[in-house]
């Protein structure tokens, strides 16, 4: 199951004057199904393996109405904003990308939902470009919309209340058997500069990234190839919270920041059935409030534990946010 380094979690009780002021929901890896029947030419690629994998493993462990019920529960929690960290689709067929666009529209308006792509959204060469065009409203920064219509560029920056959502893309097409990601030199440079500027401005910086950037997070074939670049950017410029998906497990750890460890929180797939090898569908709610000395961030993890059961509170915790 998930990995947890609990020593950075301080289960302090919220005092009366620490009123939650911004609620952020995070979910990931919906791997929307079912897959449309692909034509033969569309399967003449890495997609052959992905299609077989989906028909076997994913058909058994994913699907059902878990995602819809999870989203209903999330809606009832009335988050101010929602973060979705990639793998919306499976083998990135054109029909999957178009269906995912319709699904996004039903989940929330682009102003309330921010998305970064995952490796499955870039399953074969050319797929990521199609996905970025179809989903661009959800992946463009506040200031990018005017100059970058029709596509997204990363990292994007969106300001919502006290939060600054910084969306990083790690998505790239890979060879069969690989699910790795890459940030690249140019994006890292922009990430470092963006985080530094936001730190000066006193924002609560949330880095959204599909692949986890901490050491030993995945197998070699699924790793973020230049995770050290992301860690260096955060070590230098800082962040208050890093959210990721990709591993389909619940994980809590931290990476080094200039003023102390930065929490790194991973959430399981939002579509997974409970009772399997990986956790059932879950999402996280973060209640973030500014205090005199910095920030409080209360985490509530919600989702399915048992087959046939409903959505439960799985855990509650106070994250220690480094103060500047």
Q: Are 318 and 296 in contact (CB under 8 A)?
A: yes
What is d(CA 96, CA 98) in angstroms, rounded to the nearest whole number? 5
Site for Fe ion in 208-247 (CB under 5 A): 246
* Beta-sheet pairing, 113-115 with 163-167: unpaired
By CB under 5 A, name the one of 117, 118, 199, 279 that touches Fe ion.
Answer: 118
By CB under 5 A, name the one of 23, 29, 104, 195 that touches Fe ion.
Answer: 29
50: Cα within 13 Å, side-chain hemisphere: 27
What is the contact mask toward Fe ion in residues 74 to 93, using x (rule: CB under 5 A)? -------------x------
Q: How far is the CB of 181 from Fe ion (least distance, A)?
A: 8
Residue nearer to Fe ion on the CB measure, 53 or 259: 53
Window contacting Fe ion (CB under 5 A); options: 27-35, 42-50, 93-101, 228-236: 27-35
Window contacting Fe ion (CB under 5 A); options: 32-40, 68-76, 116-124, 314-322: 116-124
* DSSP letter, residue 8: G
Window contacting Fe ion (CB under 5 A); options: 29-37, 59-67, 101-109, 297-305: 29-37
- Who's near 119: CB < 8 A, 6+ residues apart? 86, 87, 170, 171, 172, 174, 179, 180, 181, 210, 211, 246
What is the contact mask toward Fe ion in residues 255 to 284, using x (rule: CB under 5 A)? ------------------------------
Q: How far is the CB of 139 from Fe ion (least distance, A)?
A: 16
- Who's near 117: CB < 8 A, 6+ residues apart? 86, 88, 128, 131, 132, 135, 139, 169, 171, 210
**Does residue 38 touch Fe ion according to CB under 5 A?**
no
What is d(CA 216, CA 214) in angstroms, rounded to the nearest whole number? 7
What is d(CA 273, CA 61) in angstroms, rounded to the nearest whole number? 5
The owner of tokens 């995952």 is: 118
What is d(CA 44, CA 149) in angstroms, rounded to the nearest whole number? 32
Residue nearer to Fe ion on the CB measure, 248 or 298: 248
Residue nearer to Fe ion on the CB measure, 84 or 320: 84
Residue nearer to Fe ion on the CB measure, 118 or 141: 118
Q: Tell me which residues touch Fe ion (CB under 5 A).
A: 29, 87, 118-119, 246
């Amino acid at each position: 199951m998930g990995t947890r380094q609990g020593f950075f979690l301080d289960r302090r009780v919220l005092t009366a004057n620490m009123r939650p002021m911004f609620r952020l929901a995070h979910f990931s890896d919906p791997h929307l199904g079912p897959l449309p029947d692909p034509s033969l030419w569309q399967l003449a690629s890495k997609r052959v393996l992905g299609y077989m994998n989906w028909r076997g493993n994913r058909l058994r462990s994913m699907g059902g109405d878990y995602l819809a019920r999870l989203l209903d529960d999330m809606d009832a929690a009335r988050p101010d904003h929602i973060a979705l960290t990639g793998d919306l689709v499976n083998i990135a067929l054109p029909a999957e990308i178009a269906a995912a666009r319709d699904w996004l529209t039903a989940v929330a308006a682009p102003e309330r939902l921010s998305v970064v792509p995952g490796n499955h959204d870039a399953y074969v060469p050319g797929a990521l470009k199609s996905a970025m065009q179809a989903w661009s409203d959800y992946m463009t920064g506040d200031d990018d919309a005017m100059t970058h219509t029709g596509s997204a560029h990363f990292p994007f920056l969106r300001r919502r209340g006290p939060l600054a959502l910084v969306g990083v893309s790690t998505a790239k097409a890979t060879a069969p058997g690989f699910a790795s990601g890459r940030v690249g030199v140019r994006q890292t440079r922009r990430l470092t500069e963006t985080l530094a500027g936001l730190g000066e401005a006193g924002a609560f910086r949330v880095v959204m990234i599909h692949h986890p950037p901490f050491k030993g997070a995945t197998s070699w074939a699924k790793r973020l190839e230049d995770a050290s670049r992301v860690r260096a950017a955060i070590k230098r410029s800082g962040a208050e919270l890093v959210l990721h998906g990709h591993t389909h497990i619940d994980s809590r750890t931290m990476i080094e920041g200039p003023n102390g460890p930065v929490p790194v929180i991973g959430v399981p797939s939002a579509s997974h059935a409970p009772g399997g090898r990986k956790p059932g569908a879950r999402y996280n709610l973060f209640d973030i409030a500014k205090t005199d000395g910095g920030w409080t961030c209360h985490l509530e993890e919600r989702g399915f534990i048992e087959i046939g059961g409903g959505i439960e509170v799985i855990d509650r915790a106070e994250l220690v946010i480094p103060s500047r």
